[in-house]
Amino acid sequence: MPVKERSRASSQRQNWQNTFNGLVQMIRDQQSQLETLAKDRQLLEDRVRTQNERWTYDIRLLEDQISQMKGDLEFQELAGSLQAAKFELVLGLKQREGYLTKLKLEYTDSELEGFKGWFDLYNKFSDLKGGGEDGDKRISNTKSPKKSKQEKQRSKQLEDDLRRLKQQYDKLASEKSSEVSALLAEKKFVWNQYKIMEENYTTN
């Protein structure tokens, strides 16, 4: 009977160790994915900066063209052309901003999916750990004090590691949630401004 209990306890500890190893590998994979996403985000920021520079150049070019037109057109014709040009330019800018915001949200959603997978694995590991504690209690009397102390130390270390990892996850998840909210608010503001501009243009 004690042999069977020791065998079952050993199997439970092995399952626990396998699960923990899987968790460590999962975290490493998530770290690699986060590094890749960070590089992708940097590329996106570079693209946004380059696009903004191009838009600034286009605006200046348009202003120069309008300045040249002032000597050839009557005041009313110039005013109408100016309003139409501004409307088309701003419309193009808002559409591009909406597209860039969508790209940012896609990157953020990908990161959150990765964290969700990590959290699911963490819950699974916690359930297995909870199931193993009863078995450890049943065979605690058969262990030497030294071995029992070592196992308790290992168990405490694992619990500390998991607690620290969960705190890191909660912090990152909160940051990503705030980032998504900020992006959604920015997108809403952009389109509200566009609607107001469109209404003003139609009224005038």
User: Quick check: 34 and 111 in contact, CB under 8 A?
Assistant: yes
For residue 12, the tally of other CB atoms under 10 A from its CB is 19
Nearest to 121 by CA among 55, 30, 35: 30
CA distances from residue 156 to 104, 149, 163, 194 in whole angstroms, order as listed: 40, 10, 10, 57
Give the model confidence (pLDDT) of 55-81 as tens digits.
888 888 877 877 776 666 566 665 566
Q: How far apart (Å, rounded) are the C-alpha atoms in residues 95 and 41?
A: 20
Question: In this predicted model, which residue has the larger pLDDT, 21 or 96?
Answer: 21
Q: What is the pTM for the complete model shown?
A: 0.30
Give the model confidence (pLDDT) of 96-146 as tens digits.
666 556 656 665 665 666 566 666 656 665 655 554 444 444 444 445 566
User: Quick check: 101 and 186 in contact, CB under 8 A?
Assistant: yes
pLDDT at 3: 56
pLDDT at 114: 59
pLDDT at 132: 46
Place of tokens 């699960």: 19
Average pLDDT of the residues in 154-182: 70
11-25, 45-59, 103-117, 159-173: which range is least confident on average?
103-117
